[in-house]
């Protein structure tokens, strides 16, 4: 039976993540994946967490296994607050909601404010999870080019002037997914000013902010906002564990009250067991020590990737910006129209990369770009994977 006639209009244009599709083809253990966005599993504090989980289930079974409150377990809200305060992302009058991952926060924030046809400005390219969330609300996505120092702010100003009824700007200003770039302070200041001038809300998505391995921290947009226009999505996925599904949303309470109601409809609350595990982990251990190990490892892995790219990529055919943190590196091949043959040939050579179209506002337009991830493979696999990729690029470009 063909079920497509039953599809709601809003899900018809959705395109599944090419990365998830690729996972299906990657059952072959010989494939080196530079495609996903998984954090380094070798650094998960699994021993510590298994002891903590056991103790919670022994000593607080009712709390861990019973329904919890929608906004989050109070001590978990304090943990999120502590992380956010470090980057000035909490203001007076703000509410904090614990979310089942930042993904849910972004989705339900969008659901709280977007009507069909509303305009949303996003970086182009951007994170597919958020783009797909916005697509399901049938809004109009307006893409703004990402430069080596973040969104092109002149283009943003022009887009706002042409579309003064824009409802929201969604941005990943630090170690952006997929480009790995970080927005400069000057651009952040202008973005916040423009948002206030046009009365547009900003959703700052910052799951990678803690993962800097070179350069200086740049203030969050939320910390620069004096007008209550910036909302902030944070996550424990890249500093503790993505499988625990712990994220948070921070912003003025009046709006987040609606988001909380949507969460109640969506999944009632974030699982109590993982909230309690995170609280105990944060009490017992210094998470910053653990984050430091992540930063060091990612710095080392990024360096291995860039050095091998320099050695093996055909000279003058591929451009990239070396990131100062995060987990992604973005490449552009100016001489070609479409990267698909390279991606397919790479799979034959047993290395997986993601085509740029996956992150585009129009996912059906050809792209000459691709994203590499350096957090999940080992240093040896990164080097071997990039060597295979370099050979394919040399053959096809
Ligand atoms: C930019 C961005 N935002 C949000 C998320 C989702 O994070 P979480 O695991 O907290 O849902 C990701 C995950 O890859 C991401 O890259």
pLDDT given at position 29:
84
Rounded to the nearest angstrom, the gap between the alpha carbon of residue 20 and the centroid of all alpha carbons in its chain is 15
Clarify whether residues 351 and 274 are in a common domain: no
Asked if pLDDT for residue 228 goes beyond 90, the answer is yes
Q: Which domain holds residue 310?
A: 4-44+289-396
Clarify whether residues 362 and 336 are in a common domain: yes
Q: How far apart are CA 281 and CA 219, in angstroms?
A: 27
- Please report, for the domain that includes residue 359, its CATH number: 3.90.1150.10
Clarify whether residues 153 and 272 are in a common domain: yes
Clarify whether residues 30 and 73 are in a common domain: no
Clarify whether residues 141 and 221 are in a common domain: yes
Q: How many CA atoms lie within 13 A of 291 on its CB side?
A: 18
Clarify whether residues 40 and 53 are in a common domain: no
Clarify whether residues 261 and 294 are in a common domain: no
Q: Indicate the residue among 284, 306, 340 that finishes a domain.
A: 284
pLDDT given at position 17:
63
Q: Indicate the residue among 264, 284, 304 that finishes a domain.
A: 284
Task: Kindly state the average pLDDT of the residues 152-180.
Answer: 98
Give me the sign of the Cα torsion angle 75, 80, 81, 82: positive
If you measure from the C-alpha of residue 167 to the centroid of ligand 1, how many angstroms do you get, rounded to a whole number? Answer: 22
CA angle 19-21-25, nearest 5°? 105
pLDDT given at position 363:
85
- Please report, for the domain that includes residue 193, its CATH number: 3.40.640.10
* Long-range contacts of the stretch 190-193 (C-beta < 8 A, 24+): 190/153, 190/157, 191/151, 191/153, 191/156, 191/221, 192/221, 192/224, 192/225, 192/227, 192/229, 192/230
Clarify whether residues 28 and 58 are in a common domain: no
Task: Kindly state the average pLDDT of the residues 104-123.
Answer: 97
Lowest mean pLDDT among 22-31, 138-147, 266-275: 22-31
pLDDT given at position 52:
98
pLDDT given at position 272:
98
Q: Indicate the residue among 284, 317, 342 that finishes a domain.
A: 284
Classify 367 in phi/psi space as left (phi over 0), alpha (psi -120 to 50) or beta: beta
Strand spans (E) along 20-161:
32-33, 94-99, 119-124, 140-147, 150-151
Burial of 364 (0-12, 13-18, 19+ CB in 10 A): exposed
pLDDT given at position 139:
94
Q: Do residues 148 and 321 lie in contact, with contact meaning Cβ atoms separated by under 8 Å?
A: yes
Pocket probe for ligand 1: among 129, 171, 266, the residue whose CB has the most ligand atoms within 8 Å is 129
Pocket probe for ligand 1: among 19, 101, 104, the residue whose CB has the most ligand atoms within 8 Å is 101
If you measure from the C-alpha of residue 67 to the centroid of ligand 1, how many angstroms do you get, rounded to a whole number? Answer: 25
Clarify whether residues 39 and 50 are in a common domain: no
If you measure from the C-alpha of residue 5 to the centroid of ligand 1, how many angstroms do you get, rounded to a whole number? Answer: 32
Clarify whether residues 177 and 258 are in a common domain: yes
Instruction: Check residues 24 and 136 and name the one with the higher pLDDT.
Output: 136
Instruction: Check residues 127 and 25 and name the one with the higher pLDDT.
Output: 127
If you measure from the C-alpha of residue 109 to the centroid of ligand 1, how many angstroms do you get, rounded to a whole number? Answer: 14
pLDDT category at 385 given cuts 50, 70, 90 is very high
Clarify whether residues 20 and 90 are in a common domain: no
The residues that bridge with 96 in the sheet, in sequence order, are 250
pLDDT category at 151 given cuts 50, 70, 90 is very high
The count of structural domains within the chain is 2
Mean pLDDT of all residues in the chain?
95
Task: Kindly state the average pLDDT of the residues 239-245.
Answer: 97
Q: What is the pTM of this model?
A: 0.96
Asked if pLDDT for residue 146 goes beyond 70, the answer is yes
Q: Please indicate whether residue 274, judged by its CB atom, sits closer than 6 Å to ligand 1.
A: no
Q: What is the CA radius of gyration of the chain?
A: 21
Q: Please indicate whether residue 180, judged by its CB atom, sits closer than 6 Å to ligand 1.
A: no
Clarify whether residues 312 and 346 are in a common domain: yes
pLDDT given at position 14:
73
Task: Kindly state the average pLDDT of the residues 262-274.
Answer: 98
pLDDT in tens, 1-30: 988 888 988 888 776 666 666 666 666 889
pLDDT given at position 214:
97
Q: Do residues 141 and 163 lie in contact, with contact meaning Cβ atoms separated by under 8 Å?
A: no
End-to-end CA distance of the chain: 43
Asked if pLDDT for residue 234 goes beyond 80, the answer is yes
């Amino acid at each position: 039976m063909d079920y497509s006639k039953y599809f709601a209009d809003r899900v018809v244009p959705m395109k599944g993540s090419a990365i998830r599709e690729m996972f299906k083809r990657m059952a072959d253990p010989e494939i080196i994946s530079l495609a996903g966005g998984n954090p380094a599993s070798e650094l998960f504090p699994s021993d510590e967490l298994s002891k903590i989980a056991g103790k919670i289930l022994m000593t607080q079974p009712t709390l861990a296994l019973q329904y919890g409150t929608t906004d989050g377990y109070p001590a978990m809200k304090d943990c999120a607050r502590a992380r956010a305060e470090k980057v000035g992302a909490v203001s007076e009058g703000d509410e904090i909601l614990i979310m089942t991952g930042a993904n849910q926060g972004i989705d339900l924030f969008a659901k709280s404010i977007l009507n069909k046809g509303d305009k949303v400005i996003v970086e182009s390219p951007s994170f597919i999870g958020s783009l797909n969330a916005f697509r399901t609300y049938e809004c109009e996505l307006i893409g703004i080019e990402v430069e080596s120092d973040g969104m092109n702010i002149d283009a943003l100003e022009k887009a706002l002037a042409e579309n003064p009824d824009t409802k929201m700007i969604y941005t990943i200003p630090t170690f952006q997914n997929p480009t790995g770039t970080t927005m400069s302070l000057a651009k952040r200041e202008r973005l916040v000013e423009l948002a206030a001038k046009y009365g547009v809300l900003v959703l700052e998505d910052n799951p990678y902010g803690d993962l800097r391995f070179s350069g200086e921290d740049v203030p969050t947009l939320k910390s620069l906002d004096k007008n209550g226009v910036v909302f902030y999505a944070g996550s424990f996925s890249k500093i503790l564990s993505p499988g625990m599904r712990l994220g948070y949303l921070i912003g003025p309470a009046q709006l987040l009250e609606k988001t909380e109601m949507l969460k109640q409809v969506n999944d009632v609350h974030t699982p109590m067991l993982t909230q309690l595990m995170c609280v105990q982990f944060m009490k017992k251990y210094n998470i910053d020590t653990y984050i430091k190990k992540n930063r060091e490892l990612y710095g080392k892995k990024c360096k291995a990737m860039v050095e091998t790219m320099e050695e093996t990529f055909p000279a003058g055919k591929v451009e990239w910006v070396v990131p100062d943190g995060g987990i992604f590196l973005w490449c552009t091949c100016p001489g070609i129209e479409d990267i698909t043959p390279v991606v397919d040939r790479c799979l034959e050579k047993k290395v997986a990369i993601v085509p740029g179209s996956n992150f585009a506002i129009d996912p059906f337009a050809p792209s000459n770009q691709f994203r590499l991830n350096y957090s999940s493979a080992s240093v040896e696999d990164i080097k071997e994977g990039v060597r295979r990729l370099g050979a394919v690029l040399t053959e096809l470009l």
